[in-house]
Amino acid sequence: MESDYEHLVQHLQQDQYRTYANHLETVIKPIPDSDRTGDLDPRVFATLAMNHSDDEPDVAFNLEAARAGMGWSNQDQTTIEIATESLLIPSEDGDIRARLYRPHHTEAIPAILFFHGGGFFGGTLETIENPCKLLAERANAVVIAVDYRLAPEHAFPAGLNDCYRAFEWVHAHANELNILKDRIGVAGDSAGGNLATACCLMDQERGEHRISYQALIYPVVNLGSIPTDDFEWTLDAYDISYHHDLIRGVVLALADPDSLLNDLYLQGKTNLKHPLVSPLFADDVTGLPPTLIVTAEYDYLRLEGEAYARKLSGAGIPTRLIQYRGMDHAFIDKLGDYPQAEDCMYEIAKGIKELTK
C-alpha cells in the first residue's frame, strides 16, 4: 500500500505550474497537501515548532557547535542497490577525500560531482549520502561527493580548488570510471551550489567547457547580498500570510549582518564581488552549461538564486528555475521526511537525462 509520503512525492511531480518570462522557465511546486499560500509546509512547521521549543539564548559564534549542529539524520530512499566506494583524489594540496555512488551498469553512464553545503565552514559527506545515492538511482549516473577543505582552516580558494581538481580528475579518468566523458555535471546545495557554479566559471575561463550540466540547490551566489541592477534583497518579496514572526525568523536566519561568512571564508583577502565568490557578479556567463536552479520559498537565498537564474537565461543559457512553496533552507537534508527533498533529486536527474536525448 502506498504511504502518505510516497503519495506526496507523486503529487509534487504532478501538481505544478509554470511561468515563462525573459527566456526563463519557472516551475512552482505548491505544498502537496495544503491549499494555503503564504504559509509553511506543515512538515517544516512541525520541525521548527519542535526545535524552537527548546531554543537557548543566542551566544557568541562557536565554530565547533555550528558544525555539529549542521545536517539531519535522513533516510535512504533508494529501491536498488547502489555500490559505494571511498576515493582519494590526488592533489598537490593533499589528497581529496570523496565518495562514489554507482548504480549497476555495464555501459558508460553520466557522472555528477556533488558538493555539500555548510556555509563553506561545515557540512559532511554523511549528510548528503542518501540524497547522492537516490540521485545515482534516479539519474542512472555515477555520483561523486567531494569532501573539500573547509574554512577557516582553509580560506578561499582552497575548497573551490579541491572541487575543481576533483572534476578534472574525474574527467581525466572517465574511461577507467566507466562514465561518459562528455556527460559530467556538477551539483551542490547552498555553499555547495556556489562551488558548483564557480567550477563552471573556472572551466569557462580556461576555455574548456567540459562541464555539461549544473544543478544549484538554494545556492549562495552573492555572498554579501550586494544590490545589483537586477537584485535587491527585501523581506517584502516574501508572501507571508500565517505565522508571521516565525516565518520572518526563518527567512532572516541566513542573513549575515556581521559578515561572518566573509570573515571565515575570505578572511578579508578577497573582494566580495569576485565572481568565484559571488557568481552573480561574473561579467561573462555565456559559456556555462544548461542549468537547474532550485529555491525554497522561505529562504533568505531565494532572491539571489532567482536573480542568477535571470542572469543565465538572459545570456542564452538553457535555465530552469524551480521554487518549492512552503520550504525553508536546507530541505534536502530531510530526505525521507520532506517529500520535496526526494522530488528535488528527481528533478536534477531529469535534467541529466535530458542531456542525452
Instruction: Catalytic residue, from 190, 212, 225, 278: name it.
Output: 190
- Phi and psi at residue 185, to the nearest 5°: -115, 170
Beta bridge partner(s), residue 96: 89
Taking the model in full, what pTM does it have? 0.96
User: CA-CA distance, 229 to 218, in Å (whole number)?
Assistant: 21
Tell me, what amino acid is at 46? A
Q: State pLDDT tens for residues 49-81.
A: 887 644 455 567 899 999 999 999 999 999 999
pLDDT value of residue 60? 79
Q: What domains does the chain contain, in order, with CATH numbers?
A: 4-51+72-355 (3.40.50.1820)
Continuous H helices in the chain: 4-14, 42-52, 63-68, 125-139, 158-172, 174-177, 191-205, 244-252, 260-261, 302-314, 339-355
Please report how many Cα atoms fall inside a 13 Å half-sphere around the Cα of residue 122, on the Cβ side.
15
Q: Are 28 and 325 in contact (CB under 8 A)?
A: yes
CA distances from 289 to 15, 78, 132, 156, 313 (A): 28, 28, 21, 24, 11
Question: Helix crossing, 191-205 with 158-172: angle to 10°?
Answer: 60
Residues of the chain with pLDDT under 50: 1, 53-55
190 is catalytic: yes
User: CA-CA distance, 353 to 238, in Å (whole number)?
Assistant: 33
pLDDT value of residue 2? 60
